[in-house]
């Protein structure tokens, strides 16, 4: 498959990055059924670290086997598969070259506080596992956010110096943020902006609500008449916050919910200009058959066919 | 454009610095419409880090695109453009060599307390992005000021050992300082002096008010009849505090305000001997046309023509 | 002076290089009277290392003083001045920022054999002296050429990682090469190509003769009807060998000779598409007045005015 | 000037130190009008860091210029000049070799608490600035004294390994110490002893009062009939506490006061065996003429002529 | 002794060097009876390494004791004493600070070939011994000259980064050089030029003969009418070769010879503009009394009194 003009254009936005980073970014952009469209669907399976195996895989026990997720992502025609070190390694040889992978290099766990993450893998691990990118999570708003920023910069710099792309999960949390504030549109847009400033090639945030958390921000949203009335408008606003749309931004599906609710939300993401979705629990906690069905429809949505 | 006697003299003040640092300092002093005058106007755009994209760019949405600011600074004939890593990198290739750049290497954010900064970029980043200088912020008065000092020294030493100039934003804040104290003339002059002691080539402070914050300082200001009655007198006092005027000191325009108020203040800065202005929100939050008009007039002021 | 479209285009040819390298390359391309034309005249003064002071400077003893050459290059409006460490350092502070400089980091001497060079300066020296580039010489054809290649790569990689541009003097010499072969068109074109392959931003070779040294090359030059009948044709051929003209190639003037001979040759270089000339002995071994006259005319030639 | 027997003897006390440290210590002992006497007068100008420029230099505005202090110390015939990094560097080239210098490598500021210091310069800075010694301050009694001790040891060890001498300003402060206790004779003598134990080549303390702060010490001072009734006796006691007089101990003049009071105190210091004085504000806050007069008399006192 | 205008001027020639290097260079220029004149006499005693103790010290057995040479240099009022590690260390504590010392860091020995030197001491040794400079020897013309150059650069860079001055003994030898060629004026002038290019602060060569060794050089000496007819003229030529006189050049006395011959030669060196002499065997192989007499007269010659 040839790199088309759309993908070339997108790669050109990453001016500061080496051809190595662009090649790996392109590998994700060109993979699967959405290859070449500038859209992507990624399968992330890091719930084991976060909540333990049972809470992650008991609803669909096939998922206890790390090979299951590789195969699911391949068979569904996804763009990439993201997972923690041990789980990714367990299938890395069998599936070498079969699908772009993203090594999640830090994680929280069920006993972590909102400002707590452990670095669980290295850039060299990612190279040796044949990954296209590393992924990392940060918590804007948390009391230790500045420490996380410095860690994120170090990991990002090392990954890029070795030609790997970087995906940042930017999840507002902790500190003075209210629970509603974690998904407030002003907060999510800011969180996405910070990931862009840190050098993320792909930014992952949650779909924002219409709530505005920060008083100083509220004034600006009002005075500038920023439209946050619909999810579609809010997604467009988040994209704008990422260098006027020059960064790839993908959205999570959030907590597991009904199929129609998921699809409906994704249509709005698409209409707002989202580059795609990261679909975790909503795919691997269903049966393989149901998951393949769901992912097929999601891909059709991003193909403007559904 | 040849280095003239005025610039040679200014460079000679930096006795301890290598020819590499002087070359980069000269690149800023010789750029733009004020090149060769010893005066400078710099465009800083780091509000995205500090307050998020919307609060920074919604009033003039063209500013969401990092290229916009490079082009604005070039078209206005400014001396340099300062920005955080991600934003600077997004245009670094397109605008390579077109205008001196300053990489801001640390930042606070909306959730930071007054003594909190993250290092977001490195000296090597600055070399690879083709910058003339690194920029860093410190908060004299904050409870963690001494930690900031040590970080500032490390960054300064590394930057200078590789031939880069150093710009220090010295913003009193936190600790026992009252809100009024942050811009008190004794405090601002002291903050500027500390930046000089740390090795800053260019010092950036806010225009001080006539308020005197520290009781012990008040006695001296009174007994020595230090004139702080006008902004012009206060600027002269700040310059004197920077090695008797042997350091370049530039002033911010502060919060966005009306055009005439901005210009009037800058005339007083100039009359007090300021080396120039750093104009952020007052330039990029207007329309491009208005910003170019404003900057044109500011430059004319520093050329003694307005 | 703003970077124009011609220079932007030229910079875009250096795809693999960082914005830092491009900024420094741009500093050379934008300096002096030829700034912005894509052409350049460089003053190299490394004959002291190669042949001693007397053979270099006795014809014009003002040249014993390192400051003389800085001033000559500046007054003549050249693009850059290249010299060895000691000589460059002796004026680096006085002339900081006044003209782009190139630190020659290796040298032969009068007792060196044809495969012998010493590394006489480091990349860090170049940063601290405020240079835009390092320069290095290699001898394609010599018995130790592969060692030189490895040294060249190491220096090139380090320089570029710190944002410096690289100029390679590629002088065929030694091994099985005949004396005539050193300037044979097939050999010079090959030597220029090798410099491009090593990552040189600017390539410096001698104007080639019509002689073809290598038997195997001769067959191709004949069968493909490569025109090497005129100097102009040969220069075009050398440029073509440098990534189809996508590298900057400059030519030496060779041993000191009469003014008209020099100018005539340079007109042919220009007509063949040369990016400029490196004029050493032909400039600094004349009186300052004569040198300024000569350089003025050479610049006019490259401006298509003479 | 040849090293005489008195100086040789003094150097011999520093058994554990390298010839490099002794050479640098000798450079201070042999400089100025007191050169060779074993006595010294040092000009320290670090009040800018501690209190800001205005409180330091407004009484004699010539002092805003860093060159002023070098020239004053030289013209007064002092043994050394001590200052923070930025200020020392601003004249280091102009005054290279003209007078021994001491780089103060840590500082408090007006907002620091009593247990708070920042390291503001490195041993390598001192080597590159051509200093004879580094100087550092510690606060015996403060809650963080043990941290300060470890920092002091690290800096001392590095400085000595590179041949630099070490001056320790030992100022009791903080913790359970009463305000009077900071200058109590038992506390000052103890503080001086600690500096000697840490490896200081020159120890700087304040002239002690007759107050005894520590109950346990009081018993011993009483039972052993230690004479602390006069300043002269107390100085002798402090010297004794510094390895029985085998360390150089100098005393500050404290806050600016009248000329006669200063001179009278210094006569008592001399009579008690002080090795000299560090005269900061009392010299640079007067007019240059007055300062030269005062320093002339002080030197005559240490020459036993006044 | 204050740094006078002559010395300030000389220090200003070393633009690329730090204040630390200048301070140490000044320590040599200000020491001894010639202090402040810009002239110097140095005692080098490295013949033990080169030829063994007996060939060096048997003529005056007092010289077997390392202390002897320190005392001789001090009593004669010389500017500096240069020696190998062991010998320098044996008196370094006793004579700490008494006279500037130069640590010779490489040496040949009686079994060395003409292109062979061992590095026998480090820059850190020099710092710990309290030296003002390191000294090193290189053999222009030897088959391994390029290796020597690289070693010299490394040592020079490290020494200067730590504030030490560098003295290079540049002795043409080996390779294709004839025995007469080693002191040929073209060769010596070239050797001095190379030392300047490598960054030497003080250059030491032998007084050249009127012989011209290199055919290509001969043409230039003839065509440019370079006067090499007298030793005085040749010295002036060598100085010119060292950045037009902007480097300190001192000359050896060569093999031991009669007093009048030595003095006569030194008068000619002085008249040619030599900065001084390095007098080894001619001083320490005489009795102490004779040596002091000789050195006294030599110093008077450089004072223009004899």
State how far the Cα of A42 lies from the Cα of D100, in Å rounded to an integer: 66
Question: What is the mean predicted confidence (pLDDT) over A163-170?
Answer: 98
Residues from chain B contacting residue C92 (CB–CB below 8 Å) = 19
Take residue C250 and report the two structure tokens written for it. Answer: 């400059």
Take residue E28 and report the two structure tokens written for it. Answer: 């040599």
The confidence score (pLDDT) of residue D254 equals 58
Phi and psi of C251, rounded to 5°?
-125, 145
A147 touches chain B (CB under 8 A): yes
What are the residue ranges of helices labelled H in B123-214? 123-128, 145-161, 185-197
Out of B145, B153, B216, the one facing D111 most closely (by C-beta) is B145
CA distance C116 to chain A (A): 34
Q: pTM for the complete prediction? A: 0.95
The confidence score (pLDDT) of residue C256 equals 58
Residues 6+ apart with CB under 8 A from C122: C105, E153, E157
Residues from chain C contacting residue A16 (CB–CB below 8 Å) = 19
Q: CA of D281: how far to CAs of D33, D43, D137, D267, D278, in Å? A: 21, 9, 17, 19, 10
* Per-residue pLDDT tens digits of chain C, which is 306 residues long: 589 999 999 999 999 999 999 999 999 999 999 999 999 999 999 999 999 999 999 999 999 999 999 999 999 999 999 999 999 999 999 999 999 999 999 999 988 776 788 999 999 999 999 999 999 999 999 999 999 999 999 999 999 999 999 999 999 999 999 999 999 999 999 999 999 999 999 999 999 999 999 999 999 999 999 999 999 999 999 999 999 999 999 999 756 578 899 999 999 999 999 999 999 999 999 999 999 999 999 999 999 998
Is residue B193 classed as helix, strand or coil in its secondary structure? helix
Phi and psi of B179, rounded to 5°?
-60, -45
D212: left (phi over 0), alpha (psi -120 to 50) or beta: beta
- Residue-wise pLDDT for E102-156, tens only, equals 999 999 888 877 677 899 999 999 999 999 999 999 999 999 999 999 999 999 9
**What helix, strand, coil percent values describe chain E, rounded to 5?**
50, 15, 40
CB contact (8 A) between residue D23 and residue E130: yes
pLDDT classification of B253: cutoffs 50, 70, 90: confident
Return the closest-CA partner of residue A137 out of A11, A46, A57, A273.
A46
Q: Are E49 and E98 in contact (CB under 8 A)?
A: no
ipTM value of the model? 0.94
Question: What is the mean predicted confidence (pLDDT) over B53-70?
Answer: 96
Chains that touch A (3 or more CB pairs under 8 A): B, C
The confidence score (pLDDT) of residue E254 equals 58
Catalytic residue among A39, A160, A204, A239: A204
- Residue-wise pLDDT for E159-207, tens only, equals 999 999 999 999 999 999 999 999 999 999 999 999 999 999 999 999 9
Percent of chain E clearing pLDDT 90 (strictly above): 90
The structure tokens 């013209």 sit at D75
Residues 6+ apart with CB under 8 A from D140: D170, D171, D172, D173, D187, D190, D191, D194
Q: CA of B179: how far to CAs of B174, B184, B188, in Å? A: 9, 9, 13
Given a cut of 80, whether residue A161 has pLDDT beyond it is yes
Q: Is E144 a catalytic residue?
A: no
CB contact (8 A) between residue B19 and residue E15: yes
The number of CA neighbours under 13 Å toward the Cβ of B223 is: 13
The confidence score (pLDDT) of residue C254 equals 58
C212: left (phi over 0), alpha (psi -120 to 50) or beta: beta
Percent of chain A clearing pLDDT 70 (strictly above): 98
Phi and psi of C37, rounded to 5°?
-95, -15
Judge residue A289's burial from the number of C-beta atoms within 10 Å of its C-beta, 0-12 exposed, 13-18 middle, 19 or more buried.
Answer: exposed
The structure tokens 């055919």 sit at E215
Sign of CA dihedral A214, A218, A220, A224: positive
Per-chain mean pLDDT for chain A: 94
- Residue-wise pLDDT for E218-264, tens only, equals 999 999 999 999 999 999 999 999 999 999 999 997 565 788 999 99
Chains that touch D (3 or more CB pairs under 8 A): B, E
Question: What is the mean predicted confidence (pLDDT) over E263-279?
Answer: 96
CB contact (8 A) between residue A217 and residue B51: yes
Is residue E155 classed as helix, strand or coil in its secondary structure? helix
The confidence score (pLDDT) of residue A303 equals 97
Q: Which has more pLDDT, B256 or E159? A: E159
DSSP summary character for residue C103: E
Q: CA of B163: how far to CAs of A56, B132, D226, in Å? A: 53, 9, 58
Beta D118-119 vs D106-107: how paired, if at all?
antiparallel
- Residue-wise pLDDT for B102-138, tens only, equals 999 999 998 887 678 899 999 999 999 999 999 999 9
Q: Are D278 and D204 in contact (CB under 8 A)?
A: yes
Stretches where chain D sits below pLDDT 70 are 1, 114, 254-256
Chains E and D touch (3+ CB pairs under 8 A): yes
Per-chain mean pLDDT for chain B: 95
The confidence score (pLDDT) of residue B112 equals 80
B96 touches chain A (CB under 8 A): no
Per-chain mean pLDDT for chain E: 95
The confidence score (pLDDT) of residue C244 equals 96
**Containing H/E element for D153?**
helix D145-161
CA distance E210 to chain B (A): 40
Question: What is the mean predicted confidence (pLDDT) over A170-182?
Answer: 94
């Amino acid at each position: 498959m040839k790199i088309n003009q759309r993908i070339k254009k997108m790669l050109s936005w990453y001016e500061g990055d080496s051809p190595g980073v662009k090649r790996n970014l392109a590998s994700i952009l060109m993979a699967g059924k959405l290859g070449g469209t500038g859209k992507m669907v990624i399968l992330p399976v890091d719930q084991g670290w976060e909540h333990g195996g049972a809470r992650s895989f008991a609803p669909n026990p096939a998922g206890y086997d790390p090979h299951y997720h590789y195969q699911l992502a391949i068979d569904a025609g996804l763009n990439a598969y993201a997972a923690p070190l041990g789980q990714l390694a367990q299938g890395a040889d069998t599936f070498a070259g079969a699908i772009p992978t993203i090594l999640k290099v830090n994680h929280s766990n069920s006993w972590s506080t909102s400002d707590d993450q452990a670095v669980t893998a290295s850039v060299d691990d990612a190279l040796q596992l044949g990954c296209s990118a590393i992924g990392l999570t940060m918590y804007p708003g948390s009391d230790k956010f500045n420490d996380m920023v410095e860690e994120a910069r170090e990991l990002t710099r090392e990954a890029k110096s070795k030609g790997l792309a970087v995906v940042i999960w930017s999840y507002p949390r902790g500190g003075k943020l209210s629970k509603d504030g974690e998904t407030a549109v002003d907060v999510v847009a800011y969180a996405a902006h910070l990931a862009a400033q840190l050098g993320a090639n792909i930014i992952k945030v949650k779909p924002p609500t219409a709530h505005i958390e920060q008083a100083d921000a509220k004034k600006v949203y009002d005075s500038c008449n920023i439209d946050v009335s619909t999810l579609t408008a809010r997604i467009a606003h988040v994209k704008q916050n990422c260098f006027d749309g020059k960064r790839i931004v993908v959205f999570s599906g959030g907590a597991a919910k009904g199929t129609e609710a998921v699809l409906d939300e994704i249509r709005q993401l698409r209409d707002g200009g989202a580059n795609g979705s990261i679909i975790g629990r909503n795919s691997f906690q269903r049966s393989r058959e149901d998951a393949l069905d769901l992912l097929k429809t999601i891909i059709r949505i991003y193909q403007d066919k559904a």
